[in-house]
Structure 1
């Protein structure tokens, strides 16, 4: 099977004929939340049903980073290089300090417990933006079944002032999210509620009107994969979105046009850029993690 599909001729500049798709780790139940630690030369990712965070190092392989992980899902790093994690089990967003201690950042909104924080990004002002769908409490496979206490919203958390606000309340179940390279736009995935077979599944894009207050403009539909759903995604340096889909990874232009695909033959959950120049795309699939070098770098960290 040809794993690279060029839809628009511009995509040919992004891939290299001598850089192959590599399976770097396998044997998991559902991988998610890839985070690259360049200073440590490792990739962290979640194996949610197995309740653990894994660590991969080039030339060494895979080891357990944290177990139990409270069914950790999405993750990122803050400006101090600390790991920020979304936990289904604890229904919280937490930070791993440099000495290994875990600090709970947020677990409630207006006195009610969060549902199951899913994915998270950090803006250059230090604010933490995350989605809170119901997936981790809708079943026992990726968490523990429980009643919803809040609608499924997108939140902005200010760690300096401990202020949590709703950034967007127009989603049935928000999922992955990322900023454009200049942070003027926020992309958010809608993947719908588990019980709804006809749910809308698409990426929406929002202008950021007032970042300090977590205020977004009116969103619009940006891209909907023709196979499966867009779960997690990241921007490259040119503003293209590299998104998960039901058949692999789709590369989408800033205008919302499909440029090309990396086909894997199974659903992809999330991706991140890493490696020496942030030009290696790490891909979390259902049971494995893959990687491929690209002729594009990921957007710089905040």
Structure 2
């Protein structure tokens, strides 16, 4: 999921990448303050004294963890005071779409740049390649039957992997035109599949660019190749309007439940535990777009009869005077939203909202989080993707399944 960065920083990748070095931190909050414009309010440093280190060789951390911050007393009920934020793995390129598999006891991850899916084993934390070529998959989810649903930037489609290993294409076009780059996906309790379709993957890095003359390939210089050969079947794709889509569980019919006019640049999507409410993130302008793009807010709508009603702002993602950039989110059994927050060092990481839209807590990390989910045998471990790294936190709540 690749929204534009908040105004504080020049680019989203810059926000997320300025983080970890082996065994420690690459950039300190003092350095960030020294190079930031003096006219802007400066956030508190994420660096503790002495500087916090991450990884297997890191010293024993203090408890309670100073980077688990309660903004409301209710947040203390959701976290476990004897748990630290941990760096579980580094080795990807740009990690997205974490999805917990309850039967296999593993976490599945997408690497949108390498076009690989990884499997993180619960028993020992080992990471291996799950799918060697994933067509730049992004969002993933396991449905109620344990089938993997993936959003593929490269093929501009949403697919479901059946129990027999076959691949079923759920959606690849709308109104006769190819999809843009399906991004995030959620399964409603009624079995319908909802996904967002912005244009963040319409690039040579994370998918394939538009046809010549289109927004991400205006001069026609970029060509889609695979192992050095031009793949002609990808020709002619042009970005269409962004939508939020719903796939009917009975007929498979694809319906646009939100248009670009209703919500610009849709990104992360999630349902309340009972499915009565849908949350959608409006991110910044995508590749090739002109103008501001989305408002960087989380929006909420009521779900009735397969449609969205009363779409409204839910959370503005403002933190200490800074507009944070939301990306993906996940929901616990109490209806709290845990949302990846991208922005200045010291503020980035994860923010948590209660069902009333009040920010009750946050997790401070050395880089922003693209997407996150709950997993583990009890679904009480939060997994957070941040550029090439995976962080974890034992919590005192559970994720609403499927996640």
Q: Same fold judged by TM-score > 0.5?
A: yes
What CA distance in whole angstroms lies between the structure 1 residues aligned with 2:168 and 2:304? 30
- Aligned counterpart, 1:234: 330
- Aligned counterpart, 2:127: 62
Q: What is the number of residues matched between the two proteins?
A: 298
Partner of 2:113, secondary structure, is helix
What CA distance in whole angstroms lies between the structure 2 residues aligned with 1:43 and 1:167? 30
Instruction: Structure 1: state its 5+ residue gaps.
Output: none
- Aligned counterpart, 1:262: 363
- Aligned counterpart, 1:273: 374
What CA distance in whole angstroms lies between the structure 1 residues aligned with 2:284 and 2:257? 18
Matches within 5 A, 1:194-233: 194=286, 195=289, 198-199=292-293, 200-211=295-306, 215-226=307-318, 227-233=323-329
What CA distance in whole angstroms lies between the structure 2 residues aligned with 1:210 and 1:113? 26
What are the superposed Cα offsets for residues 75-132 of structure 1, whole Å, 9 maximum, x if unpaired?
1112211000000000000001112221111101121100000000111221110000
Matches within 5 A, 1:170-181: 170-181=262-273
What CA distance in whole angstroms lies between the structure 2 residues aligned with 1:89 and 1:248? 28
What CA distance in whole angstroms lies between the structure 2 residues aligned with 1:166 and 1:60? 39
- Aligned counterpart, 1:35: 99
What CA distance in whole angstroms lies between the structure 1 residues aligned with 2:135 and 2:274? 33
Partner of 2:324, secondary structure, is coil
TM-score by length of 1: 0.95
Partner of 2:303, secondary structure, is strand
Higher radius of gyration, 1 or 2 = 2
Partner of 1:50, secondary structure, is coil
What CA distance in whole angstroms lies between the structure 2 residues aligned with 1:223 and 1:273? 21
> How much does 1:218 deviate?
2.4
| Runs of 4+ displaced beyond 3 Å | 195-199
Equivalent in 179, 183, 186 of residue 278 of structure 2: 186
What CA distance in whole angstroms lies between the structure 1 residues aligned with 2:183 and 2:354? 25
TM-score by length of 2: 0.71
What CA distance in whole angstroms lies between the structure 2 residues aligned with 1:14 and 1:44? 24
User: 1:156 aligned to 2:246?
Assistant: yes
User: 1:119 aligned to 2:184?
Assistant: yes
Instruction: Structure 2: state its 5+ residue gaps.
Output: 1-47, 49-65, 215-237, 343-347
Q: Classify 1:196/1:61 alpha carbon distance in 2 versus 1 (closer, same or farther; 3 Å).
A: farther
Matches within 5 A, 1:96-115: 96-115=161-180
RMSD of the TM alignment (CA)?
Answer: 1.5
Whether contact under 8 Å (1:237, 1:299) holds in the other structure is yes
> How much does 1:162 deviate?
2.2
The structure richer in strand per residue is: 1
What CA distance in whole angstroms lies between the structure 1 residues aligned with 2:280 and 2:350? 16
What CA distance in whole angstroms lies between the structure 2 residues aligned with 1:149 and 1:288? 31
Whether contact under 8 Å (2:189, 2:274) holds in the other structure is no
User: 1:47 aligned to 2:111?
Assistant: yes
What CA distance in whole angstroms lies between the structure 2 residues aligned with 1:60 and 1:279? 16
Partner of 2:370, secondary structure, is strand
